Amino acid sequence: MSSQPVGILSTGAYVPERVVGNEELAPRIGVTAEWIERKTGIRARRWADPSEATSEMAVAAATRALEQAGLTADRIDHLIVTTSTGDAPLPPTACLVQAELGAHRAAAFDLNIACSGFVHGLAVAHGLVAQNPGSHALVVAADLWSRFVDFGDRGTAALLADGAGAAVVGAVPGPYGILGTDLLSHGDESSLLVIEAGGSRKPASHATVDEGGHFLRMRGREVSDFVLGKVPQAVKDLLAKTGVRREDIAHFVPHQANGVLLGRLAEQIGFENARTHLTVGEYGNSGAASMAVTLDDANRSGLLRDGDLVLLVGFGGGMALGASLLRWRTTGRVEL
C-alpha cells in the first residue's frame, strides 16, 4: 500500500430547484411554520421534480466535482455512490451514474449506510486510492427522501429533503489529506430508523402500500439520545487516535439531521475554536447527501483555508456512525 497521503481534491453539489418553505409545508402536516423552525432549525428544504431520480442528482453533483478538479470522467478509477434511495433495487445506481458521466474505466458500486454514507464512502475511496497509486475515486452521496415521506408523520415530514454532493479523492502532498477515520455500527438499535417494506422480508404488495410500509419511520427522541450519547465519544476516540487536540479543529461538518440537535451536539462535544457548518436551515435533511452538500458549500464559499483541520461526522440509520479528520488542501485543478 502506498504511503502517499490521500485526500479530497475537489467537491461538487446539487440541490433541486424547488424550494419548499415552512409556510407551504406546515398546513400539510398539521403544524405551524414557527413550530417547524423551532423544533428543527429548518426554514426551507429542496424537493426534486417528479421527473428527477437519485442518479440524475448524483450526476449533476459529480460533474461539478470533476469540473473543479479539472478531470474528465474517464480519469476516474473508482465510482462510489452512497444512497438509501437508489433509482431501483437493480441496477446499482452507481452504474447508472457511470454510464451517464462516461466514467468507463471506473469500478462502480453502491454503498447503503444511510446518513453516515459520505464518511463511509470516503473511507473506502481512501483505501482504494492508497492501494492503487495514481488512481482517482469519485464519491457521490445522493438521496431523494421526498419520495418516502409520510405527511401524516410530522416528525419526519418536517425534516426530509433531496440533494447530492460529491468529492474527488486522490493523492495529495503531505501533510494534507485524510488523517484518520473511525466507522462504527450499532445494529442492535437499527429499529430506530426503518423503511419496513420493499425488501425480501416484506416485498411490495397492495397490503404494504396500504399500510404505509414504504415510508421512512423514525423514533425521533431515541435517535436524538443515540446521537448525543454516541457521537461525542466517537469524536474523542478519533482525536486521540490521530493525536489532534479538540481546540485545533477549525471546521466541524456534521450530517445535517436537525439544526436544534446539531447545536446541542456541538455544545456537548465542546468545540472551542471550530466553526460548525450548517446548511440544514435552507436545504433540510437530505440524508447521505447533506454532509457532502455542506462541505461543498464551505469549500466554494472560501471558508476552508489551506491547512485547516476539518472534522466530518455522519450518523443515522443502522444505527451507524462515521467520523473522518482531514487536513484541508485548498482545492483546485489536478496536475495532469
Query: Active-site residues: which are they?
Result: 115, 255, 285
Separation CA 99–CA 96 (nearest Å): 5
DSSP 222-256: HHHHHHHHHHHHHHHHHHHHHT--GGG--EEEE--
Separation CA 202–CA 181 (nearest Å): 35
Cβ–Cβ under 8 Å, residues 79 and 66: no
Residue 271 DSSP SS3: coil
Q: What is the dihedral of CA 60, 64, 67, 69, to 10 degrees?
A: -130
Residue 293 DSSP SS3: helix
User: And the C-alpha cell for 280?
Assistant: 440544514
Separation CA 183–CA 140 (nearest Å): 18
Cβ–Cβ under 8 Å, residues 22 and 157: no
Amino acid identity, position 321: L
Separation CA 48–CA 84 (nearest Å): 16
Burial class from Cβ neighbours inside 10 Å (0-12, 13-18, 19+) for residue 94 reads buried
Separation CA 255–CA 36 (nearest Å): 19
HEC assignment per residue over 98-144: HHHHCCCCCEEEEECCHHHHHHHHHHHHHHHHHHCCCCCEEEEEEEE
